[in-house]
Structure 1
């Protein structure tokens, strides 16, 4: 049983027409028919019922089709892995992510790498906060990190996402009736926030936006993650400045409102040590340039 015979069988099985299958495989119809006959002889069963009018699968052919597809797919994967190895595109790359930093971008990257770099395994490491991910990249614990913090010496970064800041409110709050909320309207309100000194980029961005608007947030509750924060807001314990991707966390009794005026966005970047010699990391970064281009508005 040869791979070219399997490819011939799958093409005919999907087209149910020898002429169309031959065109698809860029070959003449006669050698295509011969390959199918050789496969049938090899298996000892008829895979097709065919006459001058129709071509259709036999029960044996129907049972053989899916395993044949899988075999061809695995053979292609093996071929691509061998080619990747010849280019140095093999190995493992550890990737850190936290909260908003990577919630959208991470799945996009992992799918692109799986498709384009079969010889590379991504090891995904959840981090408590963006600052933790950046620390681990700088220290060499991680190869790559999704971060929302400024770069530091020895670490290279590239922006891949722009996160808008929003106000999260209990749905019973008077401001929830508005289409847009000005930050000065939050003066005196109880706030829910990530812990101080935790390295949370969302907390830092929210605090800076409030200070710029002349608001000093009165923090009454701290939450370790966005899920807990949403629960506290829904319980009417306070309001919060959160990022747009947090809207994907479904929590009853919480609404999001845009912030009036010019509010700095949170820029999500890929970060890696500039002196990391890993060829696998460089291959992942090349794929990321296409899968996660820098937004045009990432100023």
Structure 2
């Protein structure tokens, strides 16, 4: 390959997107461009470099040897380009999914990141669950999210990076007149015979339902059947008041009208919360989020596990592999 006198960063950005997705349609969606336009940009880049950077067939796209050689240089160029734009106030907003307005872990990380990088515009979004948000991350419609990384499909995890932020203690939301509502803490054994709502049937939160299934297995606790998909706090409150099922939550979950939130104990179940972003994404806002998460984790002791605290073994294994 020959070295051209000038390379448009847009062409390199398209190249990196295709190299990471190995799929032109997904890469085009991630960049908000038409697939035909992206294909033209890749052909132009190949002409300017004087060599083939992808090997295309009817079934798949792979990097050529020259493409493999180009990729690390392209990533460094784009990182420098983004830093330059950020220095002069031209960086695009970073879209950060917090799952739900009532959850505090992601919100606190976001607020700290805004303090650390006031030159960046970090915009909150609320997509309900990481499983749905992950698809938006891969498509480029979101930049970062929070949730249980091990609950994602392996093929989805392959396109993402993560940083463990917190082992969040879990809780149960109970109607005020429930038999267990007067307890300051609810032993898991006391829930035997109950059917607990854990998002069953919600296509946005299967990772949460899976966590509940693992926690309840062998304890005589059932998963409540799917309820009508409620969008927004008001509708969720109405549906839960109608079903009167206990709701699996985390300790920071805000109590709904007519309910109480009680920590679960014996053992203390922990929900692993990770900061998750698209692999290869370069943006000063991501750096700020990672630094903010690390600071809060250290200050708050978010990764200290109580004696006997319960975490699925699969989560520990997967998070360790992706560190």
- For the superposition of Structure 1 and Structure 2, which TM-score range results when normalised by the shorter chain? 0.5 to 0.7
Alignment of 1:37-48 (within 5 A): none
1:242 aligns with 2:242: no
Counterpart of 2:66? Answer: none
CA distance in 1, matches of 2:171, 2:120: 37
- When normalised by structure 1's length, the TM-score is 0.59
What is the CA-CA distance between 1:266 and the residue it aligns to? 0.9
What is the CA-CA distance between 1:181 and the residue it aligns to? 3.0
1:109 aligns with 2:109: yes
CA distance in 2, matches of 1:287, 1:191: 34
* Larger deviation, residues 170-179 vs 187-196: 187-196
- When normalised by structure 2's length, the TM-score is 0.55
Counterpart of 1:40? Answer: none
Contact 1:98 / 1:127 at 8 angstroms: preserved in 2?
yes
Alignment of 1:23-62 (within 5 A): none
* Largest Rg, 1 or 2: 1
CA distance in 1, matches of 2:273, 2:113: 19
1:121 aligns with 2:121: yes
CA distance in 2, matches of 1:245, 1:125: 19
Contact 2:175 / 2:258 at 8 angstroms: preserved in 1?
yes
Pick aligned residue for 1:206 from 194, 203, 212? 212
Quickly say closer, same or farther: Cα 1:89–1:259, change in 2 above 3 A. Answer: same
Alignment partner of 2:290: what SS? Answer: helix
1:95 aligns with 2:63: no
Aligned residues: 215
Contact 1:195 / 1:222 at 8 angstroms: preserved in 2?
no
Counterpart of 2:175? Answer: 170
Q: Which runs of 5+ in 2 are unaligned?
A: 1-82, 306-315, 317-323
Alignment partner of 1:115: what SS? Answer: helix
Counterpart of 2:221? Answer: 215
What is the CA-CA distance between 1:142 and the residue it aligns to? 1.7
Quickly say closer, same or farther: Cα 1:224–1:203, change in 2 above 3 A. Answer: farther
CA distance in 2, matches of 1:109, 1:178: 31
Alignment of 1:146-295 (within 5 A): 146-150=146-150, 152-200=157-205, 201-219=207-225, 221-224=227-230, 227=233, 228-235=235-242, 237-246=244-253, 248-249=254-255, 251-291=256-296, 293=298, 295=302
Contact 1:192 / 1:232 at 8 angstroms: preserved in 2?
no
Q: Which runs of 5+ in 1 are unaligned?
A: 1-80
Quickly say closer, same or farther: Cα 1:162–1:254, change in 2 above 3 A. Answer: same
What is the CA-CA distance between 1:121 and the residue it aligns to? 0.9
Q: Over aligned residues, Cα RMSD in angstroms?
A: 3.5
What is the CA-CA distance between 1:107 and the residue it aligns to? 3.5
Counterpart of 1:11? Answer: none
Quickly say closer, same or farther: Cα 1:174–1:127, change in 2 above 3 A. Answer: same
Counterpart of 2:138? Answer: 138
Alignment partner of 1:173: what SS? Answer: coil
Counterpart of 2:64? Answer: none
Contact 2:224 / 2:245 at 8 angstroms: preserved in 1?
no
